[in-house]
Structure 1
Amino acid sequence: MSLLTVKGSYKNLYQLVRTAIDTAFNLDDFAEIIPDLYALKDCPQDPYFHGEGNVWIHTELVVKALLHDANFQKESEEAQFILFMAALLHDIAKPDTTVIDPDSGRIRQPGHSKRGMLDARIILWRLQVPFVIREAICNLIEVHQLPFWLLSDDQREDPIFVINRLSWDVSLWHLYLLAKADMHGRDYEHKAQMLDEIELFRLFCEEHDVLHQPKQFVDNHTRVHYFRGANVQPDFPLFNEGGSEVILMAGLPASGKNHWVEKHCKGLPVASYDDARAHLKLRHGENEGMVTHYVQDQVKAWLRKKEPFVWNATHLSKEMREKALNLLYSYNASVKIVYLEADEKTILSRNQKRDSTLSNDRLLKMLFKWSVPKRIEANEVIYWEN
């Protein structure tokens, strides 16, 4: 497991990126700030796909390919920083996901894109990279391989649906530039063919008008249910049966959710796992099943009456958030997700001071389940930094 430690700040990192773009790029300089990059030197890759060598060599080549791209050079400074960091960290999780087949010797790194998104989020959070910039980087890393195979014959999902969904998470233009650099930064016998696939991806996104903007919908209700798999079309409004208006809180423990609810939701009933534990006289992690049933019974009662309420919990992982959203949407609720975030020092200080059975060590372990809500998950998503 990577340590995901950092030695520096966003300011240091930003200045280093500008130096790399304007004068010269040296990967060792970035490893001084992000020590986990050093592990890339000892991480092998399958020579069939990566004849150039280990992940460190590949990363150097990818960043250099990006820097020489004429389209990259035309981007704004902020966009250049996002693309540069996505290229730098796109394979950061390969050391922890490497699997070598004992019989054939073939090397794989399954799940390195999704794990890389999480590792990058923790690293960039610790460097205090601004939220919007950080998430743009992380979302690119999560899907950086998608242009290679989206239009292949064995793709199970509808490619139009996929790019419509992704257009709400990432700039597909930036994804195209990153994928091109990723392919140029390797020694692969089918490189020319894969670069053609990447160009087809760009044309496909352009044809469906999502290369530079999110897919447009007639209203938010239709959008939410389209992305949840309902048989609806973006241009035709889905009938809204009406239900509870729900504020679903999300964020790490001690990120300020309770304070936000007290300040902005006066008069609304609140479902809270912490309150349930206090009522049931249980410690954090003790008989969580009973706590969950207690909260869900509260939630279902309000949903049946179509009453507005707040669901105050971490909802930190995508899986836990999806369970809550499935319940809410099954009762035709309109959902606003309010995601709160604070820096690591603030969170640990707050958690240590408050009356909680959750230790700082246990809180930090929760980082490896950390999923920031996507805009497609709800009628409205608010990102609140404090």
Structure 2
Amino acid sequence: MWNWKQIQALVPQPEAAGWGAVDFAACLATFPLLEQAKTTPQDPIYHAEGDVWTHTQMVVQALLDDAAYAELAPAERETVFLAALLHDVAKCRTTVVGEDGRISQPGHSRKGALDARLLLWEAGAPVLQREAICRLIAVHQVPFFAFGMSRSGQSPEFILRELSWQVDLHLLCMLARADILGRICPDVEGVLLNIALLRELALEEDCLRSPRRFASAETALRYFRGAQLHPDYALHEAPGSDVIVMCGLPASGKNTWVAEHHADRPVVSFDDARAELGLRHGQNDGAAAHRAVDKAKALLRSHAPFVWNATHLSRQMRGKTLDLCLAYGARVQLVHLEASKSELLARNRARDTTLSNAALLAMLGRWEVPLPTEAHGLSLLTA
């Protein structure tokens, strides 16, 4: 198993005579999943260069040829280089050939972020840098369509502001430029123009290298959830509960963290609800959820502070909890905890649980680390 220091060694460093060549053989040895890219086809219209591995190498080279790359700090070079190397890592498992013979890879960006997260987590990458890489992968093509061709129907301003809270836009624009230059396709200049326009808008909004400023956390959260308001004018905040929403895999240390930091608060927990009902893990989850939600509603109605302790692994799972809390005017802080794979499995073996290690590992495919746009605040912690 490759560790984080070995992965860092893949990133070319500045040399007196320019940038050294990338050791692509070492890249393949470090990330064997990329071997499948050699036999993964692409649509010949948008990728006339051929397979995914050919494209990936061209993208990495285009990134290194960008003069802005040499000006980055070492950690930034690592982040954008690894994002470029892994940006299409999920194409091998998302390839679809239509009846007309056209090739597509729907959802490869989001699934690629999941794949990269697992690879880098197992290697021991620092959580904040790992998530910076994964977030870039998840949105690496958004700059292509932010102007005039937005697939989401959202305005360029909204797309820009939301992106600025998720990624470093300077790095994202570099990655997007490398992605379009590292292929043979029509209208390269049009896509480069869209990327340049997004960058210019980021400069105007003063968010190229930091999140777009909002008048308050409440204003930002409601804006990102679709409220029609201006970022510079604070939204009125109704009184409500102060809620800590825990996220993380089982055995990641959530119970310990809550006991150490918020022992004075009531806790809403599906596990506690199961125990109160005498249920095993996975048995009648609906009844346990109903009991936990009823307790949460009572606390929310009384504006009491509390902790909601659950795995909340995917954005969809968190969404139900966040929707409920925000409907009652709560102020929500997401706290995501994680541990290394070996520590996680050791803890799970040692604790009193009906959840096997095999079942725990099966949950990794749904592991989506929270984004800053999901709540009033976010902490990513290693326990």
TM-score (norm 1): 0.96
The count of residues paired between Structure 1 and Structure 2 equals: 379
Tell me which residue corresponds to 2:295: 298
Amino acid at match of 1:266: A
Residue 197 of structure 1 deviates from its aligned partner by 2.1
Contact 2:160–2:198 (CA<8 Å) still a contact in 1? no
| SS across alignment from 1:311 | strand
User: For each residue in 1:26-59, what CA deviation from the matched residue of structure 2 results, as whole angstroms up to 9, or x when unmatched?
Assistant: 2221111111010000100011000101000000
| SS across alignment from 2:9 | helix
Runs of at least 5 residues in structure 2 that lack an aligned partner in the other structure: none
| SS across alignment from 1:338 | strand
2:138 aligned with 1:142: yes
Tell me which residue corresponds to 2:197: 200
Amino acid at match of 1:57: T
2:233 aligned with 1:236: yes
Contact 1:19–1:25 (CA<8 Å) still a contact in 2? no
User: For each residue in 1:118-153, what CA deviation from the matched residue of structure 2 results, as whole angstroms up to 9, or x when unmatched?
Assistant: 100011101111111100000000000011111024
Q: After the TM superposition, which residues 26-105 of structure 1 pair with which residues of structure 2 at under 5 Å, given as runs?
A: 26-101=23-98, 103-105=99-101
| SS across alignment from 1:315 | coil
2:282 aligned with 1:285: yes
Which has the larger displacement, 28-37 or 195-204?
195-204
Contact 1:247–1:337 (CA<8 Å) still a contact in 2? yes
Change in 2 beyond 3 A, CA 1:15/1:380: same
Residue 154 of structure 1 deviates from its aligned partner by 5.4
Residue 85 of structure 1 deviates from its aligned partner by 0.2
In structure 1, distance between residues paired with 2:250 and 2:150 = 41
2:356 aligned with 1:362: no
User: For each residue in 1:94-129, what CA deviation from the matched residue of structure 2 results, as whole angstroms up to 9, or x when unmatched?
Assistant: 00000011x321100000000001100011101111
User: For each residue in 1:322-347, what CA deviation from the matched residue of structure 2 results, as whole angstroms up to 9, or x when unmatched?
Assistant: 11000000000011111111111100
In structure 2, distance between residues paired with 1:204 and 1:235 = 16
Contact 1:172–1:211 (CA<8 Å) still a contact in 2? yes
2:3 aligned with 1:9: yes
Amino acid at match of 2:331: S
Tell me which residue corresponds to 1:161: 158
Which has the larger displacement, 45-54 or 231-240?
231-240
Contact 1:250–1:337 (CA<8 Å) still a contact in 2? yes
| SS across alignment from 2:10 | helix
TM-score (norm 2): 0.96
| SS across alignment from 1:249 | strand
Change in 2 beyond 3 A, CA 1:253/1:46: same
Q: After the TM superposition, which residues 113-128 of structure 1 pair with which residues of structure 2 at under 5 Å, given as runs?
A: 113-128=109-124
